[in-house]
Amino acid sequence: MHTRTRRTSLSLLSLALALCPLAHATGAQAPQGPRALPDTLPLIPLPAKVERLDGAAFTLAASTPVWARGEAARRVAGQFGALLHASGGPTLQVRDGRGKNGINFVLDGALKTGAEGYQLHSNGDGVTVQAATEAGLFYGAATVSQLLTAGNGGTLPALRIEDAPRFSWRGLMLDSARHFQSLDEIKHVLDAMAEQKLNTFHWHLTDDQGWRMEIKRYPRLTAVGSCRIPAGDGGRDPATGAERPYCGFYTQDQIREVIAYAAARHIQVIPEIDVPGHATAAIAAYPELGTLDTPLEPLSEWGVFPNLFNTEESTLTFLENVLEEVITLFPAKYVHVGGDEAVKDQWEASARVQARMRQVGAGDEMEMQSHIIKRLEKFLEQHDRRLIGWDEILEGGLPPEATVMSWRGTEGGLKAASEGHDVVMSPVTDMYMDYLQTNSSNEPPGRPASIPLERVYGFEPVPGALAADKQHHILGLQANMFTEHTRSYARLQHNLFPRLAAVAETGWSPRGRRDYADFLARLPTQLQRWQAMGIAYAQTPFQVELDSSDDRKAGTATLALRTPLGYDIHYSVDGSAVTAQSPRYIAPLTRPLPVALQAATFFDGKPLAAAASRFDLDAAALLSRRDEQLGLCPGEGQLLLRLEDDGPADGARAIFNVNIFNPCWLWKGADMDGIARVRVRAGQIPYYFQLAHDEPKRVFAPARSAHGEMDILNGQCDGKPLATVKLPAKPGADGFITLEAALPRSLKGSQDLCVRFTGDTRPTMWVLDELTLVPR
């Protein structure tokens, strides 16, 4: 679309976002409000064992020395100082040796603290952290830093901590293929991971939309494969109209820089080179790698694509050559080879692939994929590496040394562990950070459901059905951050935080120590640390949302307030600023219109969101609903996405909720008394999705005129339309059109109304922006 304006004020009624079936299948309960456990410490993640001691507390001062002996201990002491300062504490000086009235870091290989464990002791004489490994000492340093930046004036009570992680794999996957992050942004994420004791950075470097890693033997992978043309206005220069490519890749020197930066924070970097699917960018660079003769380009679309690497020996040699350079760069034991969403249509239709299958003895296409995976696993094993892949690699057989990352739920992980494979749990239902945090209309673009903080925190990586003698195969858990909808670093931070803290606690803390209400009581202190670190965590979990019902005849509205995490809500309706002394919300409020309501969440008397939520309601506002406030129409075809407009090329863009399987919106319970017509503001955005075998699920009412219609129907979206307006060939210069349709006079009372657009209008699609009831 062209540049346009769109209201973004919180003066809109914020109703629950209509979710796809996956959201309802999660079974998440309403969150329990914050409640600190007795003697809890403001730490995330919680230590394994904490013992309060008698004696004086230790108080930090700007003059407090940091003591360390030996190169490794001094290195950790320096990192502690940097972390303390970044988290809002003072700058301390590191001194050689040991001493009282300070903070001591002691590395002692004879201690039985394990590979990542540590011991911490504090009293009036100072603090001592000791560990058998540098990694353990570093995690002890992170704990001390948190204790001294807990809003307690740098006072640490007398205590003893014995701590070690529950799982050895505590990870985050970042997709740099769909949208590209700078080195500084990646380092910022690594800093946040280290502060939360996460130790694995899974780097998704190749996909259909881009190849982001320099491979010197194959320069076209980045010369061609690292650039795509975004769909619509985003892919054109606004001044000249010329194509405006979206490009980016990491040189091998830059990759070494990231690896070294992560290693200094005891984070391993796992590269992912996706095979045999998600290969469009590579095939665009080297067409001989593909199955078709048709030239390809890196895609500006999202979804599941049919383009696979072919099965030729020369292609396997290419993959081994790429992996050889990957191994040279990445010292981690694991190399991720993808294996997911490899739609086999092209293989099934290719005589060359079918002949190759007969040659290698593959009975079907899944066995052919297994043949490739086994070939790569053997190559990696010869180079002292281990193969890891998404759970599809189980299909068709898997080498015993391969590790499985279970994303399609936990079933694949259960099967793999039962068969003796190591497993990392990262199910889409709980660990996908690109799904929306809340049901708020202020959420950025994202996937078609919400994965709230409580669901992330409640995930248990070890299935109850897994036999006790197989549970050691569960290496841990991982959050996955795919970036189809994450165009900016601000959105990336929104998606990750605060949910990444819940992942960290699940990965580190003993299962019996985890308590969601206590976690919520510790979270506000972590928010202050993130603020000091410059981390722009999501505001939506801490904002107030409004559900409203109105009585137009009486001129009143009933206002029900809620907040996703259950913190206290205070409000004002008299125009005054909201403080902890403002009235506390207890029950819905009925107020005459117009009303200006402000509300904010608080914990221990401190506000949690950057600003109060504001809702300005009048009679006209009650007659309009934005797309975020409307539900899905009934029917089989449902895939709700929160989509960003394609323009302007730079800066903020409008956001739309749309069911891409069936462009239809539902207003439930609309008061139709005295309503003469409806007014719809609609726009047009690119349809940039490939759905593979889900394509038949798309439902379009056939167009009855050249460019289709806007239909107004009953709540079942069936039968003869109540009203119809023909659609134009394209929207106006601002990217929008306004349509009005007269309604039957017999339509009265509370009604469910559907608004749908007919016809298959690809490569664009109509989207509803606002629906207004117009009185007689």
User: Residue 66 sits in a domain of what CATH number?
Assistant: 3.30.379.10
Whether 47 and 143 have beta carbons less than 8 Å apart is answered as yes
523 and 580, same domain (yes or no)? no
Among residues 593, 617, 641, the one where a domain terminates is: 617
Cα(418)–Cα(415) distance, integer angstroms: 5
Average pLDDT for the chain: 93
Q: What angle do CA 401, 402, 404 make, to 5 degrees?
A: 140
For residue 34, being part of any structural domain is answered with no
- What is the structure's pLDDT at 31? 52
| Predicted confidence (pLDDT) at residue 30 exceeds the cutoff of 60 | no
Q: Which of 540, 621, 561 is nearest to 7 (CA)?
A: 621
For residue 681, being part of any structural domain is answered with yes
Cα(321)–Cα(317) distance, integer angstroms: 6
* Domain count within the chain: 4
- What is the structure's pLDDT at 44? 98
Comparing 527 with 99, which gets the higher pLDDT?
Answer: 527
**Any idea which residues carry the catalytic annotation?**
207, 278, 341
Cα(491)–Cα(485) distance, integer angstroms: 9
| Predicted confidence (pLDDT) at residue 1 exceeds the cutoff of 80 | no
pLDDT per position as a tens digit, 95-119: 999 998 899 999 999 999 999 999 9
**DSSP SS3 for 322:** helix
CATH number at residue 598: 2.60.40
Q: Which string of DSSP letters, residue by residue, matches 666-707? A: EEEEEE-TTEEEEEEEEEEEE--EE-GGGGGG---PPPSSTT
278 and 143, same domain (yes or no)? no
Whether 94 and 78 have beta carbons less than 8 Å apart is answered as yes
CATH number at residue 453: 3.20.20.80
- What is the structure's pLDDT at 10? 28
- What is the structure's pLDDT at 734? 85
| Predicted confidence (pLDDT) at residue 588 exceeds the cutoff of 70 | yes
Q: Which of 149, 90, 156, 154 is nearest to 122 (CA)?
A: 156
- What is the structure's pLDDT at 647? 87
Q: Which of 325, 190, 168, 157 is nearest to 267 (CA)?
A: 190
Q: Which of 179, 305, 295 is nearest to 234 (CA)?
A: 179
| Chain Cα centroid distance, residue 69 | 41
pLDDT per position as a tens digit, 269-299: 999 999 999 999 999 999 999 999 999 999 9
| Predicted confidence (pLDDT) at residue 3 exceeds the cutoff of 80 | no
310 and 190, same domain (yes or no)? yes
Confidence of residue 32 (pLDDT cuts 50, 70, 90): low
Comparing 662 with 509, which gets the higher pLDDT?
Answer: 509
310 and 253, same domain (yes or no)? yes
| Cβ-proximal residues to 403 (8 Å cutoff; 6+ apart), any chain | 334, 386, 387, 388, 389, 421, 422, 423, 424, 475
What tokens were used for 679? 């007014």
Lowest mean pLDDT among 22-36, 163-177, 222-236, 337-351: 22-36
For residue 274, being part of any structural domain is answered with yes
Cα(310)–Cα(277) distance, integer angstroms: 10
C-alpha distances in angstroms, 85 versus 89, 90, 147, 310?
5, 5, 13, 52
102 and 192, same domain (yes or no)? no
pLDDT per position as a tens digit, 630-683: 998 988 778 889 999 998 888 889 999 999 999 999 999 999 999 999 999 999
Q: Which string of DSSP letters, residue by residue, matches 147-162? A: HTTSSSTTEE-SEEEE
Cα(411)–Cα(427) distance, integer angstroms: 9
**High-pLDDT (> 90) share of the chain, %:** 85
Pairing between β-strand 159-163 and β-strand 556-562 as defined by DSSP bridges = unpaired
Q: Where is 568: in which H helix or E strand?
A: strand 568-572
724 and 684, same domain (yes or no)? yes
For residue 285, being part of any structural domain is answered with yes
Among residues 576, 596, 617, the one where a domain terminates is: 617
Average pLDDT score over residue span 28-37 = 69
Instruction: Classify residue 677 by burial, with Cβ atoms within 10 Å: 0-12, 13-18, 19+.
Output: middle
CB atoms within 10 A of CB 176: 24
- What is the structure's pLDDT at 7? 31
| Cβ-proximal residues to 605 (8 Å cutoff; 6+ apart), any chain | 580
Q: Which of 282, 260, 384, 286 is nearest to 338 (CA)?
A: 282
pLDDT per position as a tens digit, 5-17: 333 322 222 323 3
155 and 256, same domain (yes or no)? no
Q: Which of 417, 496, 498 is nearest to 454 (CA)?
A: 498
For residue 17, being part of any structural domain is answered with no
pTM of the model: 0.94
Question: Rounded to 5 degrees, what are φ and ψ at 505?
Answer: -70, -40
For residue 28, being part of any structural domain is answered with no
| Predicted confidence (pLDDT) at residue 29 exceeds the cutoff of 50 | no
| Predicted confidence (pLDDT) at residue 202 exceeds the cutoff of 60 | yes
For residue 632, being part of any structural domain is answered with yes
- What is the structure's pLDDT at 357? 97
CATH number at residue 678: 2.60.120.260
127 and 187, same domain (yes or no)? no
- What is the structure's pLDDT at 315? 98
Confidence of residue 23 (pLDDT cuts 50, 70, 90): very low
Question: Rounded to 5 degrees, what are φ and ψ at 389?
Answer: -155, 165
**High-pLDDT (> 70) share of the chain, %:** 96
pLDDT per position as a tens digit, 120-133: 999 999 999 999 99
Residue 693: domain span: 624-775
- What is the structure's pLDDT at 81? 97
pLDDT per position as a tens digit, 485-495: 999 999 999 99
Strand ranges inside 327-447, DSSP E: 334-338, 386-390, 403-406, 423-425
What tokens were used for 644? 């960003």
- What is the structure's pLDDT at 132? 98
Q: Which string of DSSP letters, residue by residue, matches 450-475? A: B--HHHHHH--SS-TTS-GGGGGGEE
596 and 676, same domain (yes or no)? no
Comparing 27 with 581, which gets the higher pLDDT?
Answer: 581
pLDDT per position as a tens digit, 600-629: 999 999 999 999 999 999 988 889 999 999
**DSSP SS3 for 309:** coil
574 and 643, same domain (yes or no)? no
Pairing between β-strand 386-390 and β-strand 334-338 as defined by DSSP bridges = parallel
Comparing 134 with 734, which gets the higher pLDDT?
Answer: 134
pLDDT per position as a tens digit, 207-225: 999 999 999 999 999 999 9
Among residues 104, 133, 163, the one where a domain terminates is: 163
**DSSP SS3 for 415:** helix
Cα(461)–Cα(438) distance, integer angstroms: 23
345 and 205, same domain (yes or no)? yes
- What is the structure's pLDDT at 622? 87
72 and 110, same domain (yes or no)? yes
For residue 27, being part of any structural domain is answered with no
Q: Which of 30, 772, 711, 69 is nearest to 438 (CA)?
A: 30
